[in-house]
Each structure stands twice: as structure tokens, then as C-alpha cells.
Structure 1
């Protein structure tokens, strides 16, 4: 594409003279402008423009020339190319092309439209010229008819002549005048017909131009709407992407903060728990040590294998050997000593340690297990005592009924044997354990009580001689001897 070197008025004058297309390129500063300019400078487009003698100018988007041009032809999109005919009507406006082939086809189509428009204008001009020639011929005929009319008037004025000789000449003159009038009427009708045809052609051309302008405006409006739609879609997409990015950032920050907070919380809770454990252990150890140190007396509770217990106080500075000797002397047999909490079995190495060192002060509970008796024997004796107690509890109602019947019938025989007497070795073991328990806890029985089965009765020694006082009374006000 070769740009016109002169000013814009000169370019317009040249385009009108050549009856060619006037091309105006509105350039911007973007990639689309460079792409469109490359399409204009292609060999095919340059050849088409040179063949059709097209005049092309280039205007910058913000220049004064562009502003003056936009006052006549509105510039909607930059870059854009205006193809204007020699009559000043825009033939095509190219704002965007997807490919170079499409751009070339649009240029070719626009140049063909200009050719057809020029041909139509040439035909209209020839019609106007023929109409002018007809008008001139009519004028000449009128001029020729005037002398004839004048001659006829002169002949009439001469009057007196030979009537026979002048009659034939007069008739021929009238015929020529009538013939001239007919020709003038034909020319006038032909002129009117041509003027009507020319007016019709002009109306058709005007309508075509109006349709072209309307089509151009619709195209421009469609381009504006399309561009606005694209911009709106682009803005919406950018907003959506921005919102999505912000949401992802917020979610990521929340997850990181939650993870960090949970980690710190767990670490702090674990540290507090460990610190509490350590402090509690230190406090317990210090308290036990302080109590053991301050206590001068150790209160020891000995728990026997049969369930009985014995409590004794010792000085806190005494050795464990003293405790061991005490319990051996009391039971008369070798024993093993241990504690349940904390679980510990005392050995020979602990005999020379004080009660404070062994944390047995101010109080402690020691389990006493005879060495000659195995764990199974201890459990069997304990179970035997438990069985005897349960049997006595179950049979006591029958013993009560038996005593009532005996008292009503007047029998004074001995009561049925107690369950303790009916049990085997287990019962004897339980009885021995009961004796040991009673001996350890309460010592020998006093003479002011007596036991019948599982019931112990108290009596007043001062009233032993009273017969009635020795009798027992049942719950239903009946007396039992």
C-alpha cells in the first residue's frame, strides 16, 4: 500500500478525479494496528488498490485530522479502515478481521462495488448528455420554424397574386409547419420521458445509498455491541478469577492458621500436662518425704492372710528389723512382709533401714504372709471361713423356728448342731482363723457374754440366780427356755 503524499483535500480531489475509492486508515498503538497495517501492505491488496487507482491516507488515532474526520464519519473502533466512494458515501468499514484472507476479500468486494457505482454514474451522465443534445436539436427546430412562419406571414401580406399559382405554395408551407410542430411535440415528449427515467434512476440510486448508509450504521452498531459484550465478558471473567484467587488465598491462610494454632495448642497442652505431672510427682515426693521426716511415730497396720489385722506404733527411727521381730514373736512363725501400694516386697537388705527411709512413717499397711503356708492354702482357709459364714446365714432362720417349736412343746434338748461343727477341715481352719482374729483384735473373751451359734448374748453376773432373766424372749412375746 502506497500512502498519498499530499494533504487530505488534495487526496479527496485526486480520488474524485480518478473516480476511485478513497481509503482512510485510522491507526492506533497496539498489536491490532500493526497486524492490520501488515494486511494493507500485502502484495495482493497493494496490487488491487493500484489497479483501481485507490487513494490511501493514514491518520493517527489522536491527531487533529482524525478528529475532523470523525466529525463527518464517526470513528468507533481503533484501528479501523474506511472505504469511501467518489460520491462521499462509505462503502465499507473494517474494524477487525480474523485472517488476512478475509481482509483481502473485503477489500476486493469494496473495490468491485466502486466499479459498479462508477458505471452507473457514467450511464447517468450519458443520459444527461443525450438529453442535452435533444434539447439543442429542439431549439434548432424552433429556430428553423420561425423563418417559415415569418415567410408565411409575408406571403399573406402580399395578398394580391394569382390565386391558382399561390394556392399550391401555401399548402406546401402549411404542411411543413405542421410537420415541424409534430417533430417539436415528439422531442418534447421524448425529453419528458427521459427526465422521468432520470428521476426514477436518481430515486433508485438515492434509495440504494440510503440502504448502504443504514447498513453501515447497523454494522457499526453491531460492532459496538460486540465489542462491548466482549469487554463485559472479559471484565466478568477477570472479576471471577480475582474472586477465586482471593477465596483460595483466604482458605489457604485459614488452613495454615488452624494447623499452626492446633499444633501450638497441642504443644502447650502437652507441656502443661507434663509440667503438672512433674509438679504433682515432686509435691507428692516432697510431701511424703516431709511427712516421713517430721513424723516421730510410725503407725503400722499388719494385715494377716486370714483377713484379720493388728495395729502397732513404733518410733520412726526404728529399723525394719524391729518390725519383723515383733510380728514373728506375735505369730510364732517366719513371715514375709510386703506393701500393696506401692507394691514392694521387703527383703533382708531392708532390715537395717529406718522406717523413714522405707517411707513407712507416719503410717503404713504391711501384708503379713506366713512363709510355711503357700498362697493356695491361705486362699483355701479364707474360702472355708467364707463358706461357713454363708452357711450359718442361710440356716439361721431354721434354727430360729426350731427353737420356737422346742419352747412350745416343752423340749429342753440340745439345739441342732451348728454349721461350724458340721464343716470339715475348711470349717476347722475357719474356726482357727476366727480364734486368731479374736485373739489379735479383742483378746480373750470376757465372762459377761456367751455365744450361741452366730449370736453373742450379754448377761449380768449379778442376776445369774434369777431364773427368768436367763430365759430368752422371741419377737412374738413367747418365752424360750
Structure 2
């Protein structure tokens, strides 16, 4: 079978040019379609179709088939449409047929086309009005004339009838198609407008629902955020209260522990102090000072009587001073025979005390002479700061000679009131005198002394620093 390879419009144009029948074969993928295609591929069918047909094959699942079905309804698949020059389907073969049947169908359609062509040629010679009048005026004629005319115009009548019928059918088809197209256009426009309105309503409704949902979500998020902030605020307040409570509890515990430690430390200190006091009060350290300035020390129990101290002093002194008594200088107190039976604790001689041994049977000034060095030593230690300040201030107003003479007066006064100066005073006196009497023929700068002459100028007296700069 020779199939047309172009499009349907090209096939229609080619069929009109050659006055052939336009054949459209619609086939699918099923078994009947395969059988129909094999029938069309038969040699007899091919020979019959090539002389009067322009055939085109259309797939049932293609867009071309959809467009074709909008003009010519496709009832079943496979199908074969035989369409004339005017577009009217002359024959429709539904389903699969045998090659012989298909050849008969092709021949019949070819004869119909030939008959239409003959009728059209005859119409070219006859007026359509006369022919129609002759056809419709056959009834009032006589029977003999009727027989004669019927035998003459029967072929013409058949052709005219077929032609008029076909034109009428074509006009009806065109009108129906036009009305259907108009109705379809109106219906499609209504559906389009309705669909547009529905789409707009749907979009508006969807947008409203979307806005409503967004608003609800935003309100819910705000509520959740507010609730979360409130929970966080409450949690922060609870945490602060908890921290404050823990801090107060910790502070209270620390204060309690600190107070306990302080109390324990105070108790420990008091215990140590009491132990020290008990230890110190349990012992009395007595220093015995003799009239010649010497002394010795001994340690007694606080419950020891003064008689034992007197016996110890008598044992140490021997018969050097004869009979003697004991006394304290600060406060001034001389112990009597009644005090010998009292303890050290009762006499307030613990933990330490200084007792002076006073010989008996001597003039009263002896006591003062023997106690003189101690008294002047105490007074000198008390008045030493005042004397030092006085010496410092007087050094700005008096000459070195006068200051040397002044500095010697206290030592002379001290030596006039004491009979037995200590070894330290004896050692310090020569050094002070040597410093006071040494000549002023040198210049002292720290521990460095430099000889001076009367010819030294001011430049010689100036000093030099490390970077060779003279300072006045």
C-alpha cells in the first residue's frame, strides 16, 4: 500500500487536484488495528486504491486523530473513512474487514463518485430550473407520456436527486456544524467566564484563607512568644529568688561559720592566753639588784613566800652587806617582816619583778647612792627623745664648739650624781670626747673625709657628678 507521507491538508489538496477519494485510516496498537493494516497492505486492495484513492494513516493516540474526530466522529478504532471532494463521508468502514470486502467497498465508492461527476456534467448543459420543473410536473401527464418521459429522464432524475440530496445534506451539515460551533463558542465563553469567575472566587477565597491563616499563625506566634517571655521572666525571677535565697543562706552559713571560727579562735586565744597567764602566773622571775650595780636573777613559783627569796638573796650575797632588806622601785615599796610570810602572787611579783637589796645600818643617803644609777638610767631613757630633739634644734643656732661643750654637760651632770657608772658609759665617753675634740681640718662627706686648707677656693669645694658636670 502506498500511503501519503504529507499532512492531511496536503492530502486533501492532492485528492482534489486528481479528483480522487480521500481515505483516512485510523489505527491503534491493538490486534484489530494490526489486522486492518494488513488488509490495506494486501495487493488487490493496493491496486484498487491506487487508481482512485489518496490514503493517509493516522495514529489513534495522536493530536491529528483528535482534530479529525472533532469534524468526523470516530465511533470505533480501527476505522476507515472515505471522504468525497465536497468533504462528505461517502463510506465509513468500522473495524476490521477482509480484503475482498474492502475491495468491494472501494469499488462502490468509486462508482458513486463517477455518477456524481456525470450528473454534474449533465447539469452544465441543462438549466436547473427546467430540470426541476420537469421533475415535479411528471404527475399531471398521461400514463403513456409518463412512461415515455420516465424512460428518457430516469437517469437524469437519479442524478439530480442524488445531487440535491447531497447538497441538502451538506447544507444541513454545514448549518448544524455552524450552529454547533456557535453553541460551542457560546458554551465555551460561558464556561470560560464561569471558570474565570470561579478561579477568581477561588483565588480570592484562597487568599482570604491564606491571610486569615497567616494572621492566626502570627497571633498564635505572638501569644506563644508572649507566653515564652512570661515563662522566661518568671523563670528569671525564680532563679533570682533562688540565687538570693541560696546567697542569703550561703552568706548566713558563711557568717555562722566565720562567727564560729571567730568564737573558736577567741576561745583558743583566750585558752592560750589563760594558759600563758596561768603559766606566767605560776612562775615569778625575780631580778635582784645589788648596791654596787650588779644583779642576778632567779625564778620562783608564784606560791613561793618572799622568805624563800630573801633566803636566796642572803645565800648569794653572803655577809657582804650584812643585814639587808628588800624593796621595789616601781612602785616604791620596802618589804617588812610581815611581807616575808606572803606569797609572790599576793605581793604581785609575778610574772617578773625587780627587787633592790638595801643594806641595813647605813645612812639614808646610801640607799640613794646605791639606787642612783638605776634611777638615772630610767630617767635618761625616758628623757632621751627630748634631749635628742633639743640637740637637733640647737645645732642650727650654736657653733660646733658650743654644741660640744653643751653635749658634755649632761654627762658631767650624770657623773656627778652617780658613783659607779656602767661599762657602756665608760666606753662611750672617750669616743664622744675624741669626736668633739678632733680638729675640723677635714671635710666629711658620708664616710669619706677629705683634708682641707685655708687656700681652698669655691671651685675646690664644688662636687662633680658622673657625667663631668659641676654642681655648686
TM-score, length-normalised on structure 1?
0.34
Of structures 1 and 2, the larger Rg is shown by 2
**Structure with larger RCO (C-alpha < 8 A, sep 6+):** 1
TM-score, length-normalised on structure 2?
0.35
